[in-house]
């Protein structure tokens, strides 16, 4: 695969390998190539616990973050290429006993637009970014007035920052992250184990960065970023409980903004809130750092085998639910 064509880390097939441990499945990449062009589609193929006809069936999900099928090149007709991909992927799903698929399309790549005829595509929410490309001074243009005050107040209290490129270890980050997950009463899924972090470093050390907030020589908050020009993605973050009132996360965002602008990056993508509510507190917090810049986030659903899907829902008793796939609703 021509890595130079991969526009972001989430489309690199190796990224799925980092998520096998947390998604309980196998990372796979389906490629379709014809005279019309080339499409890649990376996903986690997960076994379904309930067997049908003595066989194990599977469903597909986007590796943690964003993804979905992506047109890498198109030398012919775009719609024809997508139709050809769909026919080929139907055959793949039949051969590999795939029941359903859930996709989190990439907001910056806008690949949902190309595949609306293949999947049931739905708008979910806005995601936020800090635009470094179009503003000479993103701090003044993108950070809200209250946010700029927060940065200056934290700096006045003695909080500084350091940028750690290609970290040798994430062992110092993990306990800060876990402390934050405990404070937020996060689900067990989000307590990514050390093997996950080790695999991230093994496969993507050149694309990983830590920005640490420092107070009296101690790391009191930290954020893990994926960097893949021209994008910087906020991945995971944490702040020690004892220093929450000092708002070290403001200084971290200031630090990555300064670094990203100096190194020619276009956007720092921080993602969305925890819901589609426009008043979602997390979304509103992130807007403080990107007051002018939103992207649209879409999801996609597809039932590839309706008969088996219905049988699973009936056996598990999950027919009436808005969750997809319904048979996985706890």
Q: Dihedrals φ, ψ of 248, to 5°?
A: -65, -20
Asked if 299 and 105 count as a contact pair (C-beta separation under 8 A), the reply is: yes
What secondary structure does DSSP assign to 46-108, as a single string? Answer: EE-SS-BTTB--EEEE--SS-B--EEEEESS-HHHHHHHHHHHHHHHHHHTTEEEEEEEB-TT
Asked if 124 and 298 count as a contact pair (C-beta separation under 8 A), the reply is: yes
pLDDT for 320:
63
Residues 142 and 258 in one domain: yes
Residues 107 and 149 in one domain: no
Residues 108 and 188 in one domain: no
pLDDT for 316:
83
Q: What's the predicted TM-score (pTM) here?
A: 0.94
* Element (DSSP H or E) covering residue 174: helix 173-183
pLDDT tens figures, 172-188:
999 999 999 999 999 99
Residues 32 and 117 in one domain: yes
pLDDT for 240:
98
Q: Is residue 169 part of a domain?
A: yes
Asked if 257 and 139 count as a contact pair (C-beta separation under 8 A), the reply is: yes
* Element (DSSP H or E) covering residue 42: strand 37-47
Residues 116 and 165 in one domain: no
Residues 13 and 118 in one domain: yes
Q: Is residue 62 part of a domain?
A: yes
Residue 45: strand, helix, or coil: strand
The residue out of 245, 265, 285 marking a domain boundary is 265
Q: Is residue 277 part of a domain?
A: no
Q: Is residue 272 part of a domain?
A: no
Average pLDDT over residues 126-132: 98
Asked if 168 and 309 count as a contact pair (C-beta separation under 8 A), the reply is: no
Q: Is residue 12 part of a domain?
A: yes
What secondary structure does DSSP assign to 103-128, as a single string? Answer: EEB-TTTTGGGGGTTTSEEEEEEEEE
Residue 329 pLDDT level (bands cut at 50, 70, 90): confident
Q: Per-residue pLDDT for 321 more than 80?
A: no
Range of the domain at 174: 133-265
CATH number of domain containing 211: 3.40.630.30
Q: How many C-beta atoms surround the C-beta of residue 239 within 10 A?
A: 22
Residues 88 and 171 in one domain: no
* Total tally of structural domains belonging to the chain: 2
Which of 204, 281, 267, 270 has the alpha carbon at shortest distance from 237? 270
Residue 4 pLDDT level (bands cut at 50, 70, 90): very low
Q: Is residue 79 part of a domain?
A: yes
Residues 97 and 8 in one domain: yes
Degrees to nearest 5, angle at CA 256 with 255 and 257: 90
Residues 120 and 138 in one domain: no
Identify the weakest region by mean pLDDT among 37-41, 67-71, 316-320, 322-326: 316-320
Residue 34: strand, helix, or coil: strand
Residues 113 and 201 in one domain: no
pLDDT tens figures, 85-126:
999 999 999 999 999 999 999 999 999 999 999 999 999 999
Q: Is residue 141 part of a domain?
A: yes
Residues 139 and 220 in one domain: yes
Residues 254 and 148 in one domain: yes
Residue 224: strand, helix, or coil: strand
CATH number of domain containing 62: 3.40.630
């Amino acid at each position: 695969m021509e890595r130079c064509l991969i526009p972001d880390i989430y489309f690199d097939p190796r990224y799925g390998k980092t998520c096998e441990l947390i998604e309980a499945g196998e990372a796979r990449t389906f490629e379709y190539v014809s005279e019309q062009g080339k499409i890649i589609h990376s996903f986690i193929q997960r076994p379904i616990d309930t067997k049908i006809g003595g066989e194990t069936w599977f469903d597909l999900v986007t590796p943690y973050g964003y993804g979905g099928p992506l047109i890498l090149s198109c030398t012919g007709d775009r719609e024809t290429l997508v139709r050809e991909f769909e026919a080929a992927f139907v055959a793949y799903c039949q051969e590999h006993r795939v029941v359903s698929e859930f996709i989190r399309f990439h907001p910056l790549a806008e690949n949902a637009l190309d595949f609306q005829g293949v999947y049931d595509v739905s708008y979910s929410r806005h995601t936020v970014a800090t635009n470094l490309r179009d503003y000479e001074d993103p701090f003044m243009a993108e950070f809200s007035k209250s946010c700029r005050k927060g940065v200056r107040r934290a700096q006045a209290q003695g909080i500084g920052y350091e940028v750690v490129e290609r970290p040798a270890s994430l062992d110092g980050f993990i306990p800060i992250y876990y402390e934050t997950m405990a404070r937020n009463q996060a689900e067990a899924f989000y307590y990514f184990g050390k093997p996950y972090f080790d695999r991230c470093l093994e496969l993507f050390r050149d694309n990983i960065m830590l920005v640490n907030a420092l107070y009296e020589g101690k790391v009191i908050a930290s954020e893990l970023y994926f960097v893949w020009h021209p994008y910087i993605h906020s991945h995971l973050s944490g702040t020690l409980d004892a220093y929450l009132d000092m708002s070290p996360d403001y200084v971290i965002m200031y630090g990555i903004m300064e670094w990203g602008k100096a190194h020619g990056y276009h956007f720092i993508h921080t993602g969305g809130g925890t819901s589609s509510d426009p008043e979602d507190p997390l979304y509103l917090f992130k807007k403080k750092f990107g007051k002018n810049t939103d992207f649209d986030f879409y999801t996609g659903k597809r039932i590839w085998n309706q008969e088996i899907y219905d049988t699973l829902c009936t056996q598990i008793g999950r027919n009436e639910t808005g969750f997809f796939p319904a048979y996985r609703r706890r």
